[in-house]
Amino acid sequence: ARVSVIGAGRVGSTLAQRLVEKNIADVVLVDIVEGMPQGIALDLMEARGVERHDRQIIGTNDYADTSNSDIVVITAGLARKPGMSREDLLKTNAKIVVDATKKALERSPNTILILVTNPLDVMTYLAWEASGLPTQRVMGMAGVLDAARFQAFISMELGVSIQDIHTMVLGNHGDLMVPIPRYCTVNGVPLTELMDTPTIERLVDRTRTGGTEIVNLMKTGSAYFAPASSTCLMCEAILQNQSRVLPVAAYLQGEYGINDVFLGMPCQLGSNGVEKILKLDLTDSEKAALSHCADTVRENIDQAKA
Ligand code: NAI
C-alpha cells in the first residue's frame, strides 16, 4: 500500500515515520520546501536497518511521485502559535489545502483523502469539494486525537491503564467539541460511576483545550506526536479493512438533523473509507451542542470562500 503525505512538517514527517516503522505502508512525503522532504525521506530510509523494515519512503516536491496512492493525507499549511485560534489559519490554509487536493487527486483520482490541516472540519469540507470524491472517501482526523487526549486525562486522574479507557468525543475540532462522558467507560464501567461531575467537567474542559495547552507550553509549534499516531491509526484501519469504530470528521446527511457539513462522529472505517456512521441516542442538549458546532463550521466555510 502507498500513502502520500502532503506537508512534511512535524505532523507529516512523524506520520511518515509511524507508517513505515509499523510496516503499514510505503510513504511519499511531499512539501513545497525544496530538499526538505528529500532529506527527511533519506533519514528515514537510513533508519530502516536499525528499525528492521523494508518500507520505501520517497521525499519529493513533485506530485507525479504520488501517483496511485491508496490514501492521501493532507497536513500542509500553517500551525498555531500562542494566542492564535485554529480559525486564524482559515484563509491561508484553505488555499494551500484546495491546491494540494487538486494536485494529488489528478494523480490518484480514486484515493481516500484524510485531512489534518486546521481548522480541521472546514478544511475537510473544502478538500471534499475540490476533490470530486464521494463523501465516504473523504474524512478529517480530529476525533481520534481528542478522544485519546480525554483518555489520557482520565487515566492520569484515576491511575488506571489507558488501555482500559474508552472515550467518546463528537462535534468539531475546537473549543466547541462535544465529549460525551455518558458514553465513556473504564472497561465497561461507566465513567460517571467512577468520578464525580466536577471532576469529569474539569477533564472535559482540559480535553477541549488540549491542543492549546500544548501550543502554550511549546511556544514554537503545536502538538504532533499524538496527532501523527491518531492519523496513522486511521490509515491502518482503512488499509487493513479493519471495520474499526473511530471518531472521525465525516459528511453528515441528516444525522441529528444536520446536513452538508463534516463533523466528528463515530464511524466504521474500512477499505471504502467511512463505511457507516454509528447513530447514538443523544440528549437534547447534546444535539443542540452538535448543531452549534455545525453552524460554526458552516460560517467558517463561508468565510474561507469569501
Ligand atoms: P508544520 O509547520 O511543522 O508543517 C507544515 C508543512 O506544510 C511545512 O513543512 C510547510 O512547508 C508545508 N506546506 C506549506 N504549504 C504547502 C503547500 N502548498 N504544499 C505542500 N506543503 C506545504 O506544521 P504541523 O505541526 O505539521 O501542522 C500541520 C497542520 O496540521 C497545521 O495546520 C496544524 O494546525 C494541523 N494539525 C491538526 C491536528 C488535528 O487534530 N486535526 C493536530 C495537529 C496539527
DSSP 171: B
Mean pLDDT of 67-83: 94
User: Of all atoms in ligand 1, which is nearest to the CA of residue 227?
Assistant: 42
- Distance separating the N- and C-terminal Cα atoms of the chain: 38
Dist. CA 6 → ligand 1 center (Å): 9
* Residue ID of nearest Cα to ligand 1 atom 34: 79
* Residue ID of nearest Cα to ligand 1 atom 13: 76
E-only strand ranges, the chain: 2-6, 26-30, 57-60, 71-74, 112-115, 138-140, 165-166, 169-170, 178-179, 185-186, 189-190, 244-253, 259-270, 273-277
Please enumerate in sequence order all residues whose Cβ is within 8 A of that of 116, keeping only pairs 6 or more positions apart, or say none.
7, 11, 73, 74, 75, 140, 141, 227, 231
| Residue-wise pLDDT tens digits, 122-147 | 999 999 999 999 999 999 999 999 99
Helices within 164-283 (DSSP H only): 191-194, 197-208, 210-218, 225-239
Identify the bridge partners of residue 57 per DSSP, sorted by sequence position. Answer: 27
User: Of all atoms in ligand 1, which is nearest to the CA of residue 120?
Assistant: 41
| Residue-wise pLDDT tens digits, 207-264 | 999 999 999 999 998 999 999 999 999 999 999 999 999 999 999 999 999 999 999 9
Enumerate the active-site residues: 173
CA–CA gap between residue 94 and residue 102 (Å, rounded): 12
Query: Cell triple for residue 273?
Result: 473509507
Q: What stretch of H or E contains 149?
A: helix 143-158
Q: Whose CA is closest to 94, among 302, 244, 234, 283? A: 302
Distances (CA, A) of 262 to 26, 138, 147, 250, 274: 28, 9, 17, 5, 12
CA–CA gap between residue 82 and residue 220 (Å, rounded): 8
| Residue-wise pLDDT tens digits, 267-279 | 999 999 999 999 9
CA–CA gap between residue 245 and residue 237 (Å, rounded): 9
Please work out whether the CB of residue 141 comes within 6 Å of at least one atom of ligand 1: yes
User: Of all atoms in ligand 1, which is nearest to the CA of residue 116?
Assistant: 41
Q: What is the mean pLDDT of the chain?
A: 96
**Length of the chain in residues, anyone?**
306
* Residue ID of nearest Cα to ligand 1 atom 42: 227
User: Of all atoms in ligand 1, which is nearest to the CA of residue 142?
Assistant: 40
Query: Cell triple for residue 173?
Result: 475540532
Best probe residue, ligand 1, of 15, 93, 116 (max atoms within 8 Å of C-beta): 116
| Residue-wise pLDDT tens digits, 28-50 | 999 999 999 999 999 999 999 99
ipTM, two decimals, is 0.99
Q: What is the pTM of this model?
A: 0.97
Please work out whether the CB of residue 9 comes within 6 Å of at least one atom of ligand 1: yes
Strands 2-6 and 26-30: parallel
Please work out whether the CB of residue 118 comes within 6 Å of at least one atom of ligand 1: yes
Query: With 90 as the cut, is the pLDDT of residue 84 above it?
Result: no
Please work out whether the CB of residue 153 comes within 6 Å of at least one atom of ligand 1: no
Please work out whether the CB of residue 218 comes within 6 Å of at least one atom of ligand 1: no
Dist. CA 115 → ligand 1 center (Å): 10
Dist. CA 78 → ligand 1 center (Å): 5
